[in-house]
A and B are shown apart, each in its own frame.
Chain A
Amino acid sequence: MASHLGGLSGAPVVRVESLIRSFGSRTILDGLSLDIDKGEFVALLGRSGSGKSTLLRALADLDDKVPGSGRLETPDKKSVVFQDARLLPWKRVLENVILGLDLPDAAKRGRAALEEVGLGGRENAWPVELSGGEQQRVALARSLVRDPELLLADEPFGALDALTRLRMHDLLRQLCARHQPAVLLVTHDVDEAVTLADRVLVIDKGGIVADIAIDIPTPRDHGDRRFGEIRSELLRHLGVETKPVLPV
């Protein structure tokens, strides 16, 4: 098991050691260990059933009914972006963004966050009036307004069309550059992982089987030779054999 042992910049914000989670007789996470540094963008790839969502839910404290053991350290300030935008349909956009935010200037922060995701002026819209991409941007704003030290994203762009997804990648990269949260992005899209992350992990059979630092300068070009190499390596770890990448 390849485990990343802390970065150079002080203590990691996420520390997972020997994490075990099981449903019935099936062990989903089998002694998994993982560290995420402050401000580090980590993408987690895995086939369905590999335990990637289970790990994310454990980090998000959403698995209190799941039996298991292990050490888990996460910051207090963390937020989750789900695959569905999960906006309350009976709350207007701004109210959704500042939901549960107990601050005197919550509305002001909410407006600023909406502005940041490009939805300034839509504060009073109902969620049903927004497109899928816009709804997901509201969900991003809802996460960012909480100033998270850790952003957990569970296939946040999985339900979006290809063009919207590309635009969301740009947006997420900008937002992360500005706010510097540590990110754990769960995805099944290898290109998405390589485009966005500082480090890509592959999870399989409840443990981390690959841990690859992405040494390509941003913005990253999918046609880049190194991009192709990393993609092939990740696909191999995911059990998909690819033909050698043609020279560009």
Chain B
Amino acid sequence: MNAFSHPAAVAPTIGYASDERALIPPAVKPRKTGTRRRLALGRAIPFGALIGPALLLVVWSIGSVAGLIDPRTLPAPWSVVGTAVDLIAEGKLQGHLMTSAWRAAQGLVFGVLIGTVLALISGLSRLGEAIIDGPVQIKRAIPTLALIPLLMLWFGIGEGMKVTTIALAVLIPIYIQTHSSLRSIDSRYVELAQTLRMGYGEFIREVILPGALPGFFLGLRFAVTYAWLSLVVVEQVNATSGIGYMIDLARNYGQTDIVIVGLVLYALLGLASDGIVSFFQERSLSWRRTLAD
């Protein structure tokens, strides 16, 4: 599970990982060149992102109707929907969802807070960097999942262990990206702040924090993904509630439909949270967006 120490999270500048392409709109519109062959891609297909998943759904449906897919391997889409409706009617799905979402949210909040504070201390002082950066890099080298046995010995198998695991996974990308973005703030701006006779507090507020914001948001997008990833694992290791628990239980009884419901739920949660983060990202970084538009 080396996804926990994703190499793209160490980009030295504010780079974009390949899966962040939604952030980079094309710089120029392709020009009509008459008979000559265009080298650039054509115009974007409206709602193109939905075509692939829709096609997959069609294949799945046809396969189920034609009896090509064994329902024990993969139940038909409508029976998955039916199961979801039943679970909701029984109130089980909401309960598990709330438990999982609460765990992820707590881990995320603690991880983001700790990661940001560490990045600021380490980014703004030589002593802070000397003390903090090493341990964080060591932590980054150890996959968070490998820490679970130790965390279980320390915190037991309760909520504390789960939230800690998630927070530990989350703080790494936040720290790495915020720190690197903060350190790459142009020294010319520091000079400017000096000639404008800004105080230290004002300098942090007006120059450092806004300058580090792009890195923070990039880190946050990784962090959200890592939070769900860790959640899945801790819920399957030892839990009595949550989506992961629901899936694990269903596996024991061979209830493939419930497993699929759980997976769909994870997908929706992942997409929704990434959407929320990128919404705030676009709003906060509108000074950059204007350039991209």
Contact = CB atoms under 8 A, between A and B. Distances in A.
Interface of A: 60-62, 79-80, 82, 84, 86, 88-91, 99-101, 126-129, 142, 146
A61 B193 CA distance: 12
B194 A62 contact: yes
A103 to B, nearest CB: 13
Interface of B: 188-189, 191-198, 202, 206-207, 210-211, 213, 285-288, 290-291
B189 A100 contact: no
Contacts of A91: 206, 210, 287
B9 to A, nearest CB: 23
A50 B285 CA distance: 41
The 8 A-B residue pairs with the shortest CB-CB distance in the complex, in nearest-first order: A100-B196, A90-B210, A100-B198, A80-B195, A128-B291, A90-B287, A126-B287, A86-B192
A61 to B, nearest CB: 7
A116 B103 CA distance: 56
A156 B25 CA distance: 33
A74 to B, nearest CB: 12
Given A62-B195, A86-B189, 7 more contacts: A80-B195, A82-B192, A88-B192, A90-B285, A99-B206, A128-B291, A142-B196
Contact of A62 (B191, B210, B213, B288): B191
Given A100-B193, A100-B198, A86 B207 contact: no
A60 B195 contact: yes
8 contacts: A79-B195, A84-B188, A88-B207, A90-B210, A91-B287, A99-B196, A126-B287, A128-B287
A92 to B, nearest CB: 8
Nearest to B186: A86
Contacts of A142: 196
Most buried by B among A88, A101, A126, A127: A88
A86 B188 contact: yes
A88 B210 contact: yes
B194 A61 contact: yes
Contacts of B194: 61-62
A151 to B, nearest CB: 11
A213 B197 CA distance: 33
A208 B18 CA distance: 56
Contacts of A88: 189, 192, 206-207, 210
Most buried by A among B192, B194, B196, B210: B192
B290 A129 contact: yes
B1 to A, nearest CB: 37
A100 B202 contact: yes
A61 B189 CA distance: 15
Contact of A82 (B188, B207, B211): B188
B289 to A, nearest CB: 9
Nearest to B292: A128
Nearest to B198: A100
A127 B211 CA distance: 15
Nearest to A81: B195
A60 B192 CA distance: 11
Nearest to B285: A90
B203 to A, nearest CB: 9
A63 B202 CA distance: 22
Nearest to A90: B210
Most buried by A among B193, B194, B211, B287: B287
Contact of A126 (B188, B207, B290): B290
A146 B195 CA distance: 11
A142 B210 CA distance: 20
Most buried by B among A79, A100, A127: A100
Contacts of A60: 195
Nearest to B211: A90
A61 B196 CA distance: 11
Contacts of A86: 188-189, 191-192
A129 B206 CA distance: 20
A205 B30 CA distance: 53
A91 B189 CA distance: 12
Contact of A90 (B188, B195, B198, B213): B213
A145 B195 CA distance: 14
A100 B291 contact: no
A89 B287 contact: yes
B182 to A, nearest CB: 14
Contacts of B202: 100
A142 B192 CA distance: 11
Contacts of B195: 60-62, 79-80
Contacts of B211: 90
Contacts of A127: 287
A128 B285 CA distance: 13
Contacts of A79: 195-196
Nearest to B202: A100
Contacts of B210: 88, 90-91
Nearest to B291: A128
A126 B286 CA distance: 9
B217 to A, nearest CB: 13
